[in-house]
Structure 1
Amino acid sequence: MAGGMALALVLAGCGTGGGSGSELAGSWDEIVEAANQEGEVTLYSSHSPTNLEALKVAFEAQYPDITLVYVRGTDADILPKIEVENQTGTGVADVHMTTDAGWIHRSLDTDYSTEVVAPNLEQPGYQSENSVIEDKFFVTSATVFGLGWNTDNVPEGLSEPDDVLDPRLDGKVGIQNPNGMPTYVDMYQKIDVDYGDGFVDRLATVNPQIYASNVAVTQALASGEVWAAPMAGSTVLTEKKKGAPVDFVLPENPFGVPWYSHVLASAPSPNAAQVLADFLISPEGQEAISADFVAALPDIPGTGIEGSSVIAQDIGLADHEDLDPETVTAYQAEWERKFVG
C-alpha cells in the first residue's frame, strides 16, 4: 500500500523494466520540471470519451507545457497494446486506466508497471490504504450500472430490472457484448443473481440489440435506437444534461466497477506520467474524470449518484479468480448461444 511512500524511491531505475529505460528526476519539483521538458503524456483508457476530453482540458490548463494525448478503447482493444509495448520496449502509452480485475492481478507479477509516487496519494480523503495496490495501481474513478431509458418512448420510466422485459420492448432493449471484456462478464454473472430468477435467460427473450460498449448503449438510448437498457452506465446522466430524452435510476442491487490506473514501465515520458497520475487524483482531476461517475475523493462537484455518498473506494474490484481468460472465453460462448444463436 502507498502509506508512507517516500520520493527517495524515485531514483534511477524506478522507471525501467520492460520499457524505455528512462529515469525519473529526483524530487517532485524536479519531476514536474522534467515533465515540462518531455512536453507530452499519453493515456490509454476505457473511460468515457467525454470525461477524457474534460481531463485533457483540465490537465493542460494546470500544466500548459504538457500536451495530454488520450487513446480511448475497450480493455479488449487496449490490453494487448500494453503488453506488446512492454515486450518490445517501444512504449507509446505512459499511463493506463483499466477496470479489468483479472488483468490487474496477473500483471502484478510482471514488469508492466512502475511505482507511482504522486504526492496526492497522501492527501486527506483519498484513503490511500484502501486505494493503492502494491504501490502501482491506484483507484481513479468508478462507475455504476442501472436502468436507463429513452423518455420519449418510455415516458413512464423504469423502476426495476423486470420492467425491461415488457413485450412491447421486444427488439428495443440495448445490452453490451461481453466479448473479451471480463468486466462485462462479471456484470452479467452478478445481475443474473441480483436481478433474480435467471435474469440473463429472461433477457434473451426480448431480442435485445447488442452493442460493443456501454458508450454505444448510451448513444443508442439517446438517439431512440433502443428504448431501454438494464445495464446502462451513469453516463446516461451526461446525455440528459445535454438535453437528450433519457433518464437513469439505480435498481436495488446495482452493479459497480472501479477504474484503476498505473504508470507504465515502458512510458516514453516517465516524469510526465507521474505528473498525470498525481493530477488524476487531485480535486481538479477528479472533477473532470469522474463527472457523472463516482469519484475517488469525497464532495467533488458533479460526481456521484444523487442520494448516495459512495466513493470509488467503496466499489470493490471483482474477484480475479472468476475472471481468468479461460473462464471469460467459456462465458462468452455461453452468452452467444443465448443472444446470438
Structure 2
Amino acid sequence: MRVDKGVKAAAAALAAAVALTGCGSAGGSGPELAGSWDEIVEAATSEGEVTLYSNHAPANLEALKTAFEARYPGITLTYVRGTDSDLIPKVEVENRTGNGIADVHMTTDAGWIHRSLESGDYSVEVAAPAIDQPDYRAADGVLDDTFFVTSATSIGLAWNTTHVPEGLRAPEDLLDQRLAGKIGVVTPAGYPAVVHIYRRMDIDYGSGFVDRLAAFGPRVYTSGPGVTQALASGEVWAAPGASMDVLVERDKGAPVDFALPENPIGIPFYSHVLSAAPNPNAAQLLADFMITPAGQQALSRSYIAALPGVPGTGVEGSDVIAQDLELADPGSLEAEAVEQFVSRWEQKFLG
C-alpha cells in the first residue's frame, strides 16, 4: 500500500537513497535525483532522454512517446518493447552490473513484481505528483511506494453479433446448449497469466464454471488474437475470456462485440522507476506523465485506464479502472503449480 507523502519529502528521500547507493546499482554512475519537483523537471530536461522497457501494445507505446515528447520537447523517449521473458532478464543484468539502459520498466509478471518487492533491489521510490491526485486511487494502485499501476487489460464476454444478436451479459449466458462446440477458449499452456484467468473464473464467474464450460466442447486456440479472429469469422460464436482486442475489431467493422461481466478479470500493468536508471530525473518525469490524463489517453487507448473517464479507454457501460483488477497471487504462478493446472485443464478440454 502507498504511504502518502509530500512530493518534496519523497524526492528528498529518493535523492538520499541515490547518493548512498551510487544511483541504486552495482557500480552505477550518473546524475543524482534532484530535490524538489521543479528541480527534478529541470534536471530531467538536462538529461534529455529517457528509456522505457515495456510489454504493452506497440501502438500504445508509440502514442505515449508522441504525447510525452509533445509535453516535454527537450526529452526524447525511447521505448523497448518485448515480452516479460525478454525484458526482465535485461533489467536484472543492468541492475547487477550497474550498466543501466532502462529508466522505467513496465511489466505484468506478478511473480517477478512480488520477488522484486521482497528484494528491494530494482526500484526507487516514485515521486510523481500525479500519484497523489484522488482520481488515481493510490491506496489501490501503488505497492510499497515503488510499483504503480499504469494500465490494464481485461478479459470479458465476447460474441459474434450475427449468431448471438442478443449478446451476452453474464458468464452463465455462455452455458447454453445452442453454443455447444461454438465457444472459443485460449489454452493456458505456456501462459501463466491465462492460468490466473481460469482460476479467477472459478471465483468470479461461480464455483465450477470452468468444469461446466469444458462440458460444452469449446474450440481451443493458442492465443487471444486467435479467438478474436475466430469470433469475427463466425468460426466460433462466443468466448468467456476474450481480450479487449475484440473492441478494436468491432470498431473496424467486424460483427463482434464485448462486455465486462459484473466481476471482471484482468491483468494490470505495473511500472517502476529503476534503481539503475541512467536518467533518474527523466525517469520520474515519465512515471508522472504516464498517470496524467494525457498520458493515460495515449497509453491506455482500447485498454483499461488507471484514471476514470479517459476518452478512448475502458469498456462501454463499465466504470472499471486498472486499480480494480487484482494482481495475481504469485504462489499460484510458480512453475510447478502452473504445470499441474495446465495438465488438469488439458484433460478436461482436450480429452
Report TM bin, short chain.
Answer: 0.7 to 0.9
Calculate the TM-score normalised by the size of structure 2: 0.82
**Correspondences of 1:99-248 after superposition (within 5 Å):** 99-110=108-119, 111-152=121-162, 154-161=164-171, 173-179=183-189, 181-196=191-206, 198-204=208-214, 206-212=217-223, 214-215=224-225, 217-218=227-228, 221-222=231-232, 227-248=237-258
- Number of residue equivalences: 340
Q: Structure 1 residues 229, 94: closer, same or farther in 2, change over 3 A?
A: farther
SS at match of 1:231: strand
Distance 1:198 1:153 in 2: 26
Backbone CA RMSD of aligned residues: 3.1
Identity over the aligned pairs, expressed in percent? 60
Distance 2:229 2:101 in 1: 29
- The Cα shift of 1:146 comes to 0.8
| Aligned residue number for residue 24 of structure 1 | 32
Q: Deviations over 1:292-321 (max 9, x none)?
A: 333222332233333333332233323334
Highest CA radius of gyration, 1 or 2? 2
Q: Is the 2:202–2:209 Cα contact (8 Å) retained in structure 1?
A: yes
Structure in which a larger fraction of residues adopt helix: 2
Q: Deviations over 1:16-74 (max 9, x none)?
A: 13584434331333333333344332322233333223222211211223332333344
Q: Structure 1 residues 77, 165: closer, same or farther in 2, change over 3 A?
A: farther
Give ranges in structure 2 of 5+ residues lacking alignment.
Answer: none
Distance 1:9 1:294 in 2: 32
Q: Structure 1 residues 63, 307: closer, same or farther in 2, change over 3 A?
A: same
| Aligned residue number for residue 90 of structure 2 | 81
Give ranges in structure 1 of 5+ residues lacking alignment.
Answer: none
Q: Is the 1:76–1:181 Cα contact (8 Å) retained in structure 2?
A: no
Distance 2:333 2:172 in 1: 27
| Aligned residue number for residue 4 of structure 1 | 5
**Correspondences of 1:300-319 after superposition (within 5 Å):** 300-319=310-329
- Say whether residues 1:91 and 2:100 are aligned partners: yes
Distance 1:220 1:89 in 2: 47
- The Cα shift of 1:93 comes to 2.6
Q: Is the 2:14–2:124 Cα contact (8 Å) retained in structure 1?
A: no
| Aligned residue number for residue 270 of structure 1 | 280
One-letter amino acid matched to 1:328: V
SS at match of 1:107: helix
Q: Is the 1:144–1:256 Cα contact (8 Å) retained in structure 2?
A: yes
- The Cα shift of 1:280 comes to 0.7
Distance 1:219 1:268 in 2: 42
One-letter amino acid matched to 1:40: E
One-letter amino acid matched to 2:252: K
Calculate the TM-score normalised by the size of structure 1: 0.84
Distance 2:344 2:90 in 1: 27
Q: Is the 1:19–1:266 Cα contact (8 Å) retained in structure 2?
A: no
Distance 1:266 1:215 in 2: 35
SS at match of 1:117: coil
| Aligned residue number for residue 75 of structure 2 | 66
One-letter amino acid matched to 2:144: E
